[in-house]
Structure 1
Amino acid sequence: MKGKAVVGQSGGPTSVINSSLAGVISKALEEEAITKILGMNFGIEGFMNEDFFDLSAQSPEVIKGLRGTPSSALGSSRHKLVEDDFPVILEILKKYNIRYFFLIGGNDTMDTVHRVELYCREQNYELRGIGIPKTVDNDLFGTDYTPGFPSAARSNILNVLQAGVLARDMKKVDQFVIYQTIGRDAGWLAAATALARKKEGDAPHLIYCPERPLAPEQMIEDAKECIRKYGWVSIVVSEGLLYKDGTPVSASQNKDKFNNTEFGAMGGASVALNVHRILTDALEGARGEFQITESLIMSAFDRSEPQDLDMAYKCGQEAVRLACGGTSAVMVTIKRNPDCSFSLGQAALEDVAVKARAMPREYINERGNDVSDEFLNYMTPLISSLPQFVALENKFYKE
């Protein structure tokens, strides 16, 4: 089937999403069935406005350079499709003779690909729609991990590691440090910071994820115990953390177009700030600070994982290979092999769309304030070597 291909990027940017785009372009240029490759400027919204990049006309230097460029080169969109959008989309597909439809994004993005592909099938318009996974939250079903997650995890790990060294060395009074990660429905990024620890007493001491509700009294008790043992406490919290009654710790009331709660700066509220208030009231005389990175960790290319960049590129290439081979209505997935290497697979879009994969219960300890060994075993193959910092010894020398 000959025709044009179109690709778009949706949701938050990452340090590897452009590597997936490079994979799509490079593979599409090799396929005789694809007559031209177009890029949606600002996702499905740009598509409906017929706002396209001519990706076939990009220089080899630009295509290669995308593999080493963060952010989202095509822009992004969080538009939720409504019924009136579909006839418009079909008309544009026909106008440009677009037969290959690719979107790079998370579960909401997979919903867009799924609905467009299904509508075209119902209208007897032959279109092959493939989803390419991307989300730093790591909450997509059907894939061992999502491109973008390992690099964002590494960025968070380094932040917590270095902030921990700073807090350890600078403390004069009881001190607490709160670090907030992205993670709307799942705590993968918060949990990943456990890899910052190399020995007893290293940051982070406590980790709280959305999969387990926060009990303030227990958190205060845990924090006091850490301060007793180490003289300070490092706490990592996910932005989606909830109390036992289901209300957000951030107190955010804002919703996006997909009815997802918006946290952090976008929501005008913050888990880290509210946890800081709880501990300030409970820990008399203690000094506390909080750190919120938001999108900084999503596109920190200097902290990207080489394996993550490579798999993102391969996912883009695999999407084109599948589509040109006759496959449609699937998302490319990453499979973990017994030797902890990774290979590619596929999952039905209907099984992936608008669903968030929480961390398995066994990945969180019984008290709900840290991760388990099972989680560390899952994470270790995803993160390359980390810096090794030291502390001075023999403090009490006197003449």
Structure 2
Amino acid sequence: MVKRNAIVGQLGGPTSVINASLSGLIQEGFKSKKIKHILGMRDGITGLLRDRIVDLGKESPEAVRSLKYIPSSILGSSRYILKKKDFQKIIRQLQRYNIGYLFLIGGNGTMEISRQIEQYCKKNDYQINVIGIPKTVDNDLCSTDHAPGFASAARYICLSVLQGGRLARDMQSIDKFVILQTVGRSTGWLAASSIMAKRKEEEAPHLIYIPERPLNRRKFLSSVKECIEKYGWVYIVCGEGIVWEDNSFVASHYSPDTSEKEFGAMGGGSAALNLHRAIYQEMNLRGEFQITESLPMCAMDRASEIDIEEAYACGVKAVKLAEEGFSGGMVSITRTSNNPYKIELNSVPFGEVALKVRLMDDVFINKQGNFVTDEFIKYIKPLVGKIPEYGELRLEKVDF
């Protein structure tokens, strides 16, 4: 049997567990009877194009094992979009390094790059197995129960809201409202996961706003007022990509003026900041906004144990699929049981995931569009792990 080399790259935004997938892939690859060397591309697909290739076989076993618990993307990443002229260079590089197995770890954009490379290689009679390994904090990958990276980011948000909610509650005599913004341009999975911080009705979060449900400004302000009147304060969680009813990003503006020049996907602004402004202008109340931005992508101290193990297993599965001759698809997670929580690893064609976005299921969102349902709690609970519970004082009034 003629052995060929494998190469792996990490694309797009990092996660707390993307290196766990890399660790699983390398360790399983070392055992393979079909893989000679395992190479890595620095800074995503640009590393392949610019010949920034490293030999992962030269790393010590200890270093490879430790990857399982190292956050962010250790090989470096990029968001480079392939151009037509790049494919000829890619196939030359694959030939130069005798690459028979290409593994790309990433999201829906990465799966599109994987699909394009595999098709180009087929068209040009270059034999290669191309396999994608799922990764995203947004959880917007189709045809998989969830993506590695999401559970850890969700746990980060839960813990932030748990502790930020107590801060907001205890400071309500000063700040009547707090808005926490999560990443999630098109989907609300991360914002919705904040529900696991809540154990009592009066606890945070009180309102959750997601891109799947456009906001009505009047109804939004009415809900805020209602919570403040009921609890004395309000804690709001929103996804960065939420929109008003006219489909304009809340991050861009909150007024009907659409002449504002936008910069970037979120219009160069912040949804939390603009909601904060809207509440202040309507009610003249002091409040705070909290923006975690990219921190949930690299917080190993808050990583979900299930997420670490599943990410590692996806790397192992990718090598096994390659050994079986599989190509043209991504490793996928199928949930077979919720209680006890069990999964199976399978595969799906690139066509089912490439450039596609998985929105939150309607059954997970309440009718008002400002909170989640019990069905979502059943979905998210096993993923985030145990959430701490804090005690309380009785705080009884002096009676003497």
TM-score by shorter chain over 0.5? yes
Q: Distance in 1 between matches of 2:36 and 2:15?
A: 29
Structure 1, unmatched stretches of 5+, are 256-260
1:88-117 CA-partner distances (Å, limit 9, x unpaired): 100111111101000000000011111101
> 2:311 aligned with 1:302, yes or no?
no
Offset at 1:268? 2.9
More off after superposition, 179-188 vs 27-36: 27-36
In the TM superposition, 1:67-216 aligns within 5 A as 67-173=68-174, 175-216=176-217
Q: Distance in 2 between matches of 1:39 and 1:48?
A: 12
1:277-336 CA-partner distances (Å, limit 9, x unpaired): 00001122x220001111111111000011100000000010011011100001000110
Offset at 1:53? 1.5
**1:278 equivalent in structure 2:** 278
Offset at 1:377? 1.1
**2:327 equivalent in structure 1:** 328
Q: Distance in 2 between matches of 1:362 and 1:144?
A: 15
Q: Distance in 1 between matches of 2:175 and 2:387?
A: 28
> Quick one: which amino acid aligns to residue 309 of structure 2?
D
Q: Distance in 1 between matches of 2:194 and 2:374?
A: 13
1:70-89 CA-partner distances (Å, limit 9, x unpaired): 01000001011111111110
Offset at 1:188? 0.1
**1:258 equivalent in structure 2:** none
Offset at 1:173? 4.7
Q: Is the 8 A contact 1:209 1:237 kept in 2?
A: yes
**1:253 equivalent in structure 2:** 262
Q: Distance in 1 between matches of 2:369 and 2:391?
A: 29
> Quick one: which amino acid aligns to residue 214 of structure 2?
P
- State the superposition RMSD in angstroms: 1.2
Query: Is the partner of 2:333 in helix, strand or coil?
Result: strand
Query: Is the partner of 2:311 in helix, strand or coil?
Result: helix
Q: Distance in 2 between matches of 1:345 and 1:254?
A: 39
In the TM superposition, 1:224-243 aligns within 5 A as 224-243=225-244
Offset at 1:342? 1.2
> Quick one: which amino acid aligns to residue 273 of structure 1?
L
Q: Distance in 2 between matches of 1:202 and 1:94?
A: 59
Q: Distance in 2 between matches of 1:332 and 1:240?
A: 27
- Give the TM-score normalised by the residue count of structure 1: 0.96
Q: Is the 8 A contact 1:136 1:298 kept in 2?
A: yes
Offset at 1:340? 2.8
Query: Is the partner of 1:67 in helix, strand or coil?
Result: helix
Q: Is the 8 A contact 1:107 1:356 kept in 2?
A: yes
1:190-236 CA-partner distances (Å, limit 9, x unpaired): 00001100011000000000000011111110011110111000000
> 2:351 aligned with 1:350, yes or no?
yes
Q: Distance in 2 between matches of 1:253 and 1:148?
A: 29
Q: Distance in 2 between matches of 1:173 and 1:15?
A: 35
Offset at 1:2? 2.5
- Aligned pair in 2 of structure 1 residues 145, 373: CA closer, same or farther (>3 Å)? same
**1:391 equivalent in structure 2:** 392
Q: Distance in 2 between matches of 1:85 and 1:233?
A: 51
Q: Is the 8 A contact 1:180 1:292 kept in 2?
A: yes
**2:286 equivalent in structure 1:** 287
In the TM superposition, 1:47-86 aligns within 5 A as 47-86=48-87
Q: Is the 8 A contact 1:142 1:347 kept in 2?
A: yes
Offset at 1:392? 2.2
Q: Distance in 2 between matches of 1:228 and 1:392?
A: 23
- Aligned pair in 2 of structure 1 residues 73, 173: CA closer, same or farther (>3 Å)? closer
Q: Distance in 2 between matches of 1:52 and 1:92?
A: 10
Q: Is the 8 A contact 2:168 2:175 kept in 1?
A: no
What is the percentage of aligned positions where both structures have the same residue?
48
Offset at 1:390? 2.8
Structure 2, unmatched stretches of 5+, are 253-260
1:5-59 CA-partner distances (Å, limit 9, x unpaired): 0000011111100000001101111112111111000010111011011101110
Query: Is the partner of 1:112 in helix, strand or coil?
Result: helix
Q: Is the 8 A contact 1:273 1:290 kept in 2?
A: yes
Q: Is the 8 A contact 1:174 1:231 kept in 2?
A: no
Q: Is the 8 A contact 2:20 2:308 kept in 1?
A: yes
Offset at 1:119? 0.6
1:113-161 CA-partner distances (Å, limit 9, x unpaired): 1110111011111010000000000000011010000000000010011
Q: Is the 8 A contact 1:174 1:227 kept in 2?
A: no
- Aligned pair in 2 of structure 1 residues 90, 174: CA closer, same or farther (>3 Å)? closer
Find runs of 4+ consecutive structure 1 residues off by over 3 angstroms. Answer: none
**1:13 equivalent in structure 2:** 14
Offset at 1:174? 5.9
- Give the TM-score normalised by the residue count of structure 2: 0.95
Offset at 1:397? 2.0
> 2:346 aligned with 1:337, yes or no?
no
Query: Is the partner of 1:237 in helix, strand or coil?
Result: strand
